[in-house]
Structure 1
C-alpha cells in the first residue's frame, strides 16, 4: 500500500525519520511507502520565521537547504536589520539576532544597518512611522523619533554628551548601543510677568 500527500505551490514538505530530515518535496502529489512511512512536516513559504529548533538543525546538518529555502538574518552586535516583505517594512531586528525566515521567492529582503551611525536612515524612519493596517512595525521601540516644530530647536544627547542642535523637522535615532535623549526647546520670545 502507498500513502499519497499533496504539497501546494506555496509549500515545501520535509521528510524525516527519527527526527532526522533527509528530503525536501516540492509542489505536487507524492507517493510515500505505507510501511515505514516517514514523518512529513508541511511548511508554508510565507516569510515566517523558522522555529529555533528546526533552524539550528538545518544550519548544522542541511546548510544547502538553508541557502536555497531560507533568508538568513545573522546580525553582528553593531548591526540592526530591517526586514521587508513585498517592499513593506515588517520588523526591525535588534543586534546579535540569529534567525532564519522561509523565503517567498524574492519578496523577502533584509537590509543591514550599522547602529554606530546613530541617526536612522530616512527611508527606514518613514517606513516605521507610516500607518499600517496590520498594526505597528515590530521592533520599532529600538528607534527614538524626534519631532521639532517650527520656532523650536531640539537638544540631542547621545551617551550623555550634547550634540549639535536639531533644526525643525523629523529625525530618528537608534536607542540600541547608545543612550539617546532629546529635548525640544521653544525659541520664541516669551512674555515675562
Structure 2
C-alpha cells in the first residue's frame, strides 16, 4: 500500500478526494501529495468542461460542503411548481423539470439556474420559446401551438379549457399536467352532401347533391358542445334535406327549387346556431332522376310542347282566315281594289310561264285565267 500519492490536476479538472469511502474535500488545479498511512484514499477526477455533475452522491456533497458548496458548484433546487432554466455563459442550454435537485461545476463555465414558477401559468415566455426551438428541445418540454390568422386556439389543461388564443405562436410547459391545444378555423368553409337517395311526397325516388357554406362564430361552443361540429353539420344537412324533399311532390320540387333551399336553410341554421356555427347558405346543386322517370318526364314535356304548337298553329290559321275575309270584303266593296288584286295575281302567274299568246287583249287573258263565280 502506498503511503503517499501524488495527484496532478489540470485547469479543466476537479478532483474529489474520498478517505475510507467518505468525501473529504475538493481539489482545484495543481499538484498535490496525499498522505494516507492507515486509510484508503480514493481520488475521482471530473472534467468540468461539461458542468453537469455526473456523480451519484449529490446529497452527500451538499451536506458535506455546506456553506462552501457555492465555491465549487451551482445548485439547482427546484420546487414542485417550478421549472429550471440552465444558463451557460448567459445562454439557455437546458430545462429542468419541477422537483429537480442537481449540481453544476462553476470553475470553468459560468452556470446559472433560473427558476420559473408554473403555479399560475404554464405559458412559456416568448424569448425562451425561441431559444428552445433553436436548441431543438421545445417539443420535449412544452406543447407548441401556432394559431394562424382567422383562427382561434384553445388550450386544455387536464381536460379543462384554460385559455382562448388569438393568432400567434405560443408554447406551454408540459410538466405534471396534461396540456392539449387545438386550432379552430374561423374562415368560411364549404360542406358537400352528395348522392342522397330520397323519396318525394308522391313516392318518386331521386338523388340530390347539396352544398352549404358555414363559419365558426364561437370557437369554445363549437369545440365543447359537440364532439365534431363538421360531422354534426353534415348530419343535420342530411336530415334537413330529407325532411324538405319528403314534404314536396316531384312537380313542386322541380318547379320551385328555391323554396327547397329555403326550407333546408331554415332547419339547419336553427340547429347549428347554438353550437357556435353560423350557416351562411344552402343550395341544391343537382336533382338526378332515375332513367325511367326521365323518359316519362321527356314524354310529358314533348306532349306539352306539341299541344302548345297545335294551339299556336290554330291561332295563326284563324288569324289568316280572318285577314282573308277582311280582304274579300274590301275587294267586294271596291272594284278598283279587285282589279289590282287581279293584276297582282296575273303577275305572279306570268312569272312561271315561258311563252304567252294573247287573244282579245288583256281582257281575254283575264277572262281565261280568272273566271268569277256568279251567285245564283
TM-score, scaled to structure 1:
0.84
1:113 counterpart residue number: 116
Q: Partners of 1:49 and 1:22 in 2: how far apart?
A: 17
SS state at 2:129 partner: helix
SS state at 1:76 partner: coil
Q: Does 1:14 align with 2:16?
A: yes
Q: Partners of 1:42 and 1:82 in 2: how far apart?
A: 27
Contact 1:50–1:101 (8 Å) recurs in 2: no
- Larger Cα-atom Rg: 2
Which has the larger helix fraction?
Answer: 2
Aligned CA-pair RMSD: 2.4
Q: More deviation in 35-44 or 148-157?
A: 35-44
Q: Report which structure shows greater RCO (CA 8 Å, sep ≥6).
A: 1
Which of 129, 135, 141 is 1:125 aligned to? 129
2:52 counterpart residue number: 48
Paired residues, number: 187
Contact 1:92–1:140 (8 Å) recurs in 2: no
Once the two structures are superposed, the pairs formed by residues 64-75 of structure 1 within 5 Å of their partners are 64-75=67-78
Gapped runs of 5+ residues in structure 2? 192-210, 212-376
Q: Partners of 1:140 and 1:74 in 2: how far apart?
A: 24
Deviations 1:134-172 (A, max 9, x none): xx33x8523111111222221222333324421111011
Mark the CA change 1:21 to 1:165 in structure 2 (over 3 Å): closer, same or farther.
Answer: closer
Mark the CA change 1:29 to 1:140 in structure 2 (over 3 Å): closer, same or farther.
Answer: farther
Which has the larger strand fraction?
Answer: 1
Q: Does 1:25 align with 2:18?
A: no
Once the two structures are superposed, the pairs formed by residues 152-163 of structure 1 within 5 Å of their partners are 152-163=151-162
Deviations 1:5-42 (A, max 9, x none): 21111222222211122233221122234856732111
1:77 counterpart residue number: 80
Q: Does 1:148 align with 2:147?
A: yes
Q: Partners of 2:126 and 2:41 in 1: how far apart?
A: 50
| CA shift for structure 1 position 102 | 1.6
Q: Partners of 1:66 and 1:104 in 2: how far apart?
A: 12
